[in-house]
Amino acid sequence: MKHRFNSGKKEEKVHRPSRATRLFVVWRKLRKSKLAIMGFGTVLFMSMIALLSPIISPYKLDDYRDSNEPPSMDHVLGTDSLGRDMLSLVMNGARISIYVGVGAVLVEIVIGLGIGMAAGYFGGMIDEVLMRITDVIFSLPQIMMLLLAISMFQARGIDVILLIMGALGWPFLARVVRSEYLSLRETTYVEAARSMGASSWRIIIRHILPNILSVIIVLATMDIPWFILYEATLTYLGFGDPMSSSWGILLQNGYQHMESSPWIMAAPGIALLITSLGFNLFGDGLRDALDIKVRE
């Protein structure tokens, strides 16, 4: 933040680009990287499939045909052991995966932001206590905590999984948010706001938060693929929602018929790989375009 002194003359009009212009600037930078654009395209493509899968999938999910059919003109990706069309199943799986990824990230943001804000802005004891908790959760292996938390749930609906993943995934975000708040609360504009009598709440939400939105967006984009992979892993291991047909379930199913009909296992795995690669590329590109260094 540059501070400008006006020596009593007519106040210079500060040019502040509109939101659309700022978005355009980011887009122009993003466009320079082919990989980032590929990532963006993939994310867009997968999201469209997820949204439109009930309309565009070629077969209904309860449409049972010949089982274990190899890929053909009728069934581009073959059929599974129950005779369902693999393409339709994979499309439906995208719906579940994107929902879980985005949902878990939203939960993570709510918790991580809250804790990071409080620790970074207020400092002192609050900071000390919150950060110790954050560090401990951060250092424990994620998959271990997920299994621990999930082991005792009787009903493992997709929403329960999503909540647990979000509730355990926030420490990194919280640490980054905290360090941003720590440095921004010392800036002149925050001091100015404070001296005008703005409340802490107002400063935290209205003054500082908008300045770290880009950091949060980048971190969130980068965390979505992790949550998608974790959900698939948990489901594959048998700790997911058994009623959903997420990619993890399809993979588990494919594993049982791995030798005789490998396409059942190949398709959802490739879909997972493409989705997570897309989000990672997009996240990397976004980080470079927004020029963010994730400070620790």
Partner 1 sequence: MGLRDYVIRRLILLIPTFLLTTVIIFSLIHLAPGDPIDIIFRGPHGGLKPEVKEAMRVELGLDQPIYIQYFAWLSKLLQGNLGYSYINSMPVTNIIIMKIPLTLELMLTAEVISIVVAIVLGVIAAVKHHSIYDATCSVGALAGYSIPDFWLALMLMLVFSLWLKWFPSSGPQTVGVVFATPLDVLLDQFKHLILPAVALVVVWTAYLFRMVRSAMLEVLTQDYITTARSKGVKEWIVIYKHALRNALLPVITYVGYSVGFLLSGAVVIEEIFEWKGLGRLMVDSTAVRDYPMLLGLSIFIAIMVMIANLCADIAYAAIDPRIRYD
* CB of 108 closer than 8 Å to CB of 166: yes
Please identify, using beta-carbon distances, which residue of 53 and 261 lies nearer to partner 1.
261
Please tell me whether residue 296 adopts helix, strand or coil conformation.
coil
Cα–chain center distance at 66: 37
243 near partner 1, judged by CB under 8 A = no
Please tell me whether residue 85 adopts helix, strand or coil conformation.
strand
- By CB under 8 A, the residues from 131 to 150 that bind partner 1 are 132-133, 135-137, 139-141, 143-145, 147-150
Please identify, using beta-carbon distances, which residue of 17 and 242 lies nearer to partner 1.
242
239 near partner 1, judged by CB under 8 A = yes
258 near partner 1, judged by CB under 8 A = yes
Q: Which long-range contacts (CB under 8 A, 24 or more apart) does 106-110 make?
A: 106/166, 107/162, 107/163, 107/165, 107/166, 107/167, 107/169, 107/170, 108/165, 108/166, 108/169, 108/170, 108/173, 108/220, 108/223, 109/170, 109/173, 109/216, 109/220, 110/166
125 near partner 1, judged by CB under 8 A = no
Please identify, using beta-carbon distances, which residue of 207 and 287 lies nearer to partner 1.
287
Shortest gap between Cβ of 121 and partner 1 (angstroms)? Answer: 22
Longest dimension (CA), the chain: 83
* CB of 173 closer than 8 Å to CB of 216: yes
Q: Supply the DSSP symbol for 193.
A: H
Please select the residue that binds partner 1; options are 17, 41, 58, 262, rule is CB under 8 A: 262
Please identify, using beta-carbon distances, which residue of 106 and 136 lies nearer to partner 1.
136
Which residues in 50-67 are b (16+ Cβ under 10 Å) and which e?
beebeeebebeeeeeeee
Residues near 251 by beta carbon (within 8 Å), at least 6 away in sequence = 232, 236, 265, 268, 269
Q: Could you tell me which stretch among 12-20, 45-53, 86-94, 235-243 binds partner 1 (CB under 8 A)?
A: 235-243
Shortest gap between Cβ of 230 and partner 1 (angstroms)? Answer: 10
289 near partner 1, judged by CB under 8 A = no
Of residues 259, 258, 230, 262, the one with CA closest to residue 246: 230
Please identify, using beta-carbon distances, which residue of 87 and 250 lies nearer to partner 1.
250
* CB of 240 closer than 8 Å to CB of 161: yes
77 near partner 1, judged by CB under 8 A = no
Q: Supply the DSSP symbol for 15.
A: P
Please select the residue that binds partner 1; options are 14, 73, 152, 196, rule is CB under 8 A: 152
Residues binding partner 1: number (CB under 8 A): 45
Shortest gap between Cβ of 74 and partner 1 (angstroms)? Answer: 25
277 near partner 1, judged by CB under 8 A = yes
Of residues 95, 238, 110, the one with CA closest to residue 166: 110
Shortest gap between Cβ of 233 and partner 1 (angstroms)? Answer: 6
Please identify, using beta-carbon distances, which residue of 214 and 233 lies nearer to partner 1.
233
**Residue ranges binding partner 1 (CB under 8 A):** 35, 132-133, 135-137, 139-141, 143-145, 147-154, 164, 225, 229, 232-233, 236-239, 251, 254-255, 258-259, 262, 265-266, 269, 272-273, 276-277, 280-281, 284
